Amino acid sequence: MTLIDLTVMYSSDDRCRELLERLRWPSGPVCPRCNDTTPARLENTPKILYCRKCDYQFTVTSGTIFHDSHLPLIKWFATALLICEAKKGISALQIKRTVGMAYKTAWYLCHRIRKAMTEVDREPLGGTVEIDETYMGGKHLHRGHAEKFDNKEVVVGIRQRGGDLRFFHAEDAKSGTLARYIKEHISEDVEVIVTDEWTAYPKAMIDAGVHGSRHKTIKHKDRVYVQGEIHTNTVESAFSLLKRGIVGSWHKVSAKHLAAYLEEMTFRFNRRKRSDLFLDTLRHMVTADPLTFEDLTA
């Protein structure tokens, strides 16, 4: 899907709605209140559906991330497409200029799309899994370990080799925190977990029940970066993409919203080889709960 295709195929709000309806209700409209599958369309305004069972009017965007938006749907679509196509992220300022809207509208819009890119119900990672942490403050990401960067935000990265990537805005990089991420996101049947020599990992592995030979350590301190299959290069390459996003596109990410940017980055990264990235993003948007401006800025 290119921006040109998009403007041709979804030139009107009605066409955008037809697509959203197919994505939200593949087997036909369903009342969001009582799940009745026979709502009627209002004769003069077919975008409005009416449920006789529970006497409720709704549209395909009711109760979703689009809720209460006065922005034409094509602007939502164009912004979502630009976000999908921007491997390193795209700023609200760029959306303001390219799609055409006020800066505050663009900022809020990007955050709503980002929220829809949050994954739920993720399968545990297995096979060979790499874990690494990085430290971020202001616009800079830092290599190195926690005691050196007291006022930085910690980002933990976990990547299954040949599989999915996850980033977390962690409270710290201590063993207890790392053990929690390992338990929550890595399968008990994992073959190997590779980390660097950060002193918190051995205890984290014990706490998480990963014993002995399944934890491999690469000694970056000794300038060893790859020892056969033992390296953390694939999670580090994802960190460098994140770094380029923060320095190059978003310029500055506040601690408050860091987790949301991490979700956007991993959502896109994990679907980078899928041809339906844009449609899947729209599907997430039309099934995600609303995010009010008050909640976002609270």
Task: Name the residues that contact Zn ion, by CB under 5 A.
Answer: 31, 33-34, 36, 51, 53-54, 56
What is the nearest approach in angstroms of Zn ion to the Cβ of residue 25? Answer: 13
What is the nearest approach in angstroms of Zn ion to the Cβ of residue 289? Answer: 18
What is the nearest approach in angstroms of Zn ion to the Cβ of residue 143? Answer: 55
Which is nearer to Zn ion, 38 or 240 (by Cβ)?
38
Which is nearer to Zn ion, 52 or 97 (by Cβ)?
52
Which is nearer to Zn ion, 51 or 90 (by Cβ)?
51
Say if residue 295 is exposed, middle or buried (CB neighbours under 10 Å; 0-12, 13-18, 19+): exposed
What is the nearest approach in angstroms of Zn ion to the Cβ of residue 29? Answer: 10
Coil vs helix vs strand at 119? coil
Q: Rounded distance, CA 293 to CA 111, Å? A: 9
What is the nearest approach in angstroms of Zn ion to the Cβ of residue 39? Answer: 7
Direct distance between the N- and C-terminal alpha carbons of the chain, in angstroms, rounded to an integer: 36
DSSP letter (8 states) at residue 216: E
Strand residues in 6-64 grouped as ranges (E): 40-41, 49-51, 56-58
Which is nearer to Zn ion, 36 or 207 (by Cβ)?
36
Which is nearer to Zn ion, 54 or 255 (by Cβ)?
54
Q: Rounded distance, CA 147 to CA 29, Å? A: 55
